[in-house]
Structure 1
Amino acid sequence: MTRETATATRLRSWDCLVEDFLAFRAQGQAVALVTLVNSEGGSPRPPGSQMVVAANGDHAGHLTGGCAESVIVDEARAALGEGRNRTLRLGAGSQYLDIQLPCGASVELYIDVTVDDGTMAAVQAALGQRQVVALDTLAPGSHQVVIDPGDGSPATGFRRCYYPPRRLLIYGKGPNAYTLARLARESDLQVSLHAPDRATLSACDGTGVDTGLLTSPASVRVPPLDAHTAVVLMFHEHDWEPALLRQLLPTNAFYLGALGSRRTHQQRCEQLAADGFPQAAERIHGPVGLDIGAGNPVEIALSILAEMVRDYRRGQGNRPLLIRASAETVDRVT
């Protein structure tokens, strides 16, 4: 009987399982990396989605929405036993006639048992530096790691792109701030909460949220931000905002939001425009969050996270996970 690894107990995006791969290897397990390389007729996961499967049956990730994961695990364990890579087709045209994917769909999976620890450690190291990195599968047993790969395709085989984990910085205090921090962390974001009071920070003790105490508006220093980072200001005392927003507006953060009414937001943007930031009205979401009629901190947090996901998927999150070479060269791998 297969078992799903305990790392899946928290809600996850499943976009990157490199950490799971290395964790299984640290346990002394042989590990298969399973990549969805093609789909026809629709699929619950996009091309490039992955699972990792250990020789003992522990696994992380999903590729078919739950209807065929047990078969994938069995096939991956068989490939590990043989020490040879293999392809697996599920759905229409598969040898597994009893497994039917929705609407006559089919998926093609590449089960790779030859990825070594050093290769995956290099991918993890790049992600730790918040770099975009790709793993090229060039031929059976042949891989290369490419930092900042751009939109190019590999010479042969296929390229699986990994993007830095989404990160959320929250500046503010009170239930709205710490509820957003906790819900975002449960949604698999890296989260930092910065507040001028210890009560707000202590509400996130033991949750995996990084915290920092703010002492004065003039002392706040925003760290370097990339295009996979969102920032939300949740102050009721808006005198904290100007110094922060002047630092945030020129950054590459994909999302900026600030708590407050429409009138407050208009005044905020007018003041920033007068200070030399005419892009403020277009750049800052205010009132922050989708209009769902939110009436409590949990609903406010949900509305903000939904707006963030929408913006991310329209921008950075719309970039492909998988880039294939030409059909002739792909045949050399699959």
Structure 2
Amino acid sequence: MDSVDFSVFTTALKWARQKQPLWLMTVVETFGSSPRPVGAMLVLRADGLMVGSVSGGCIEDDLADKARLGQLPQHRAEVLTYGVTTEEARRFGLPCGGVLKLLVEPMRDDRWLQQVQSLVAEHRLVSRTLELDSLNVVVSDAAPDSRLTLSATHLTTIHGPRWRMLIIGAGQTSVYLAQMAQALDYEVIVCDPREEFRQTWSVPGTHIIGDMPDDAILTQQVDSRTAVIALTHDPKLDDMALLEALKSPAFYVGALGSHRTNQQRRERLALFDLAPEEIERLHGPVGLSIGSRTPPEIAVAIVAHLVSIRNHPQFNAASFQPAELKQHA
């Protein structure tokens, strides 16, 4: 579950225990330009207090007004549509032609919130199916390719780590990268066979393993929703990971280091059983070219590149300029 979902659910559970009248708002459909994606959520209290976002602006103000005036549904979930007319789009600050559909769900039971949070804490991907008339909720495991669906009778939403990141090396840059990745809906696994690095790793919610990097690629069953980032600065460890990762379905494989270091790395990889097109998959230096120097700046460059590729999967390595030479050899 990404950081936004987590804050919405945590606040909803807190307010529910205080016996506050609550509504959960979920973006279920968009047309044209929309400021927030399908699945975006907020929790709203009867006094207009809210956490989360469905539009980033005026729609939230309108929802707060409706809550204070008692104009939100009380006994069943209903769909609200914003931006149908030009006047509404202008009033609510939607981009030209933008239409947003929200499911407004009165919250009567907090048990499903506890269930979802408990399962997500175990790094499981879960679905939550709401019956619109009765407000009954069923929580179950979800498949990695599951998506939000809305029918005339039910809404199903997906929560938990949809993406995974396998970081090779438990150094300082990895700490910042792991924290940022968690906020972007990644389950983070950190592999470092060096005991002294594992002992000082302290990022809550991540897995730390001591496997050799090539073994970790295999045992973690790297798939098309996994990014592999090699950050040890030790060619022996990084190259071991890359030899397996570049043959895997991983959607992103990157390695720290300068252009010169990565050119030498590519020459070494060519001596093994990697095809030229597999070596071309390597993002090295890793990340976007933003002049990054410090560990947190390098982490920003990496996650920015991942966001670009996730949002525009048609782009390839040649579409972006990698991070600068400041990723020291």
Q: Which residue of 2 aligns with 1:284?
A: 282
2:127 to 133, 156, 159: 133
> Of 22, 25, 43, which aligns to 2:34?
43
Matched with 1:237 is 234
Q: 1:99 to 1:117 in 2, by over 3 A?
A: same
8 Å contact from structure 1 (residues 114, 140) kept in 2: no
- Structure 2: stretches of 5+ with no match in the other structure: 315-329
How far has the Cα of 1:212 moved from its partner? 3.4
CA-CA distance at 1:22 after TM superposition: 4.3
User: How far apart are the structure 1 equivalents of 2:64 and 2:21?
Assistant: 13
Indicate the SS of the match to 2:57. coil
- Given the superposition, is the C-alpha separation of residues 300 and 63 from structure 1 closer, same or farther in structure 2, using an over 3 Å criterion? same
Structure 2 Cα separation of the partners of residues 38 and 140 of structure 1: 22
Q: Show the 5 A alignment for 1:83-102.
A: 83-91=75-83, 99-102=91-94
State the partner residue of 1:313: 311
Is residue 22–residue 117 contact of structure 1 (8 Å, CA) maintained in 2?
yes
Query: Given residue 210 of structure 1, which amino acid in structure 2 is its aligned partner?
Result: T
Distance 1:48 1:99 in 2: 23
Change (3 A) 1:113 1:40: same
Is contact 2:191-2:211 (8 Å) kept?
A: no
Measured on the aligned residues, the alpha-carbon RMSD in Å equals 4.4
Alignment-mate amino acid for residue 83 of structure 1? H
1:31-110 matches, within 5 Å, as 31-39=22-30, 42-55=33-46, 58-76=49-67, 78=70, 82-91=74-83, 99-103=91-95, 105-110=98-103
Conserved 8 A contact 2:255-2:286: yes
Give the CA deviation at 1:240.
0.8
Q: How does 1:262-273 map to 2 (within 5 A)?
A: 262-272=259-269
- Comparing 70-79 with 281-290, greater Cα deviation is found at 70-79
Structure 1 residues 117 and 254: CA distance shift in structure 2, 3 A? farther
1:192-203 matched pairs, under 5 angstroms? 192-195=189-192, 196=194, 198=196, 202=200
Tell me the distance in 1 between the aligned counterparts of 2:6 and 2:111.
Answer: 20
Take 1:15 and 1:42, find their aligned partners in 2: how far apart are those partners?
26
2:73/2:106 contact within 8 Å kept: no
* 1:258 matches 2:255: yes
Helix, strand or coil for the counterpart of 1:68?
A: helix
Question: What is the identity, as a one-letter code, of the residue corresponding to 1:51?
Answer: L
Question: Relative to structure 1, is the Cα distance of residues 194 and 216 closer, same or farther in structure 2, using a 3 angstrom cutoff?
Answer: closer
Matched-pair contact (CA < 8 Å) for 1:135–1:159: yes
- Report how far residue 306 of structure 1 moved: 0.8
* Distance change in 2, residues 1:65/1:180 (3 Å): same
Residues 178-189 of structure 1: matches in 2 within 5 Å?
178-185=175-182, 189=186
3-state DSSP of counterpart to 2:287? coil
Find the counterpart in structure 2 of residue 248 from structure 1: 245
Q: CA deviation at 1:237?
A: 1.6
Deviation per residue, 1:129-152 (Å, 9 max, x gap):
544636365656466667437579
CA displacement, residues 69-100 of structure 1 (integer Å, 9 cap, x when unaligned): 24323435636784344444445659999953
Percent same amino acid at aligned positions?
29
- In 2, distance between residues paired with 1:14 and 1:114? 16
Q: Which has the higher contact order (CA 8 A, sep 6+)?
A: 1
8 A Cα contact 1:172 1:234, kept in partner: yes
TM-score w.r.t. length of structure 2: 0.68
Unmatched tracts of structure 1, length 5 or more: 1-10, 317-334
Name 1:6's counterpart in structure 2.
none
Aligned length: 304
TM-score (norm 1): 0.68
8 A Cα contact 1:139 1:157, kept in partner: yes
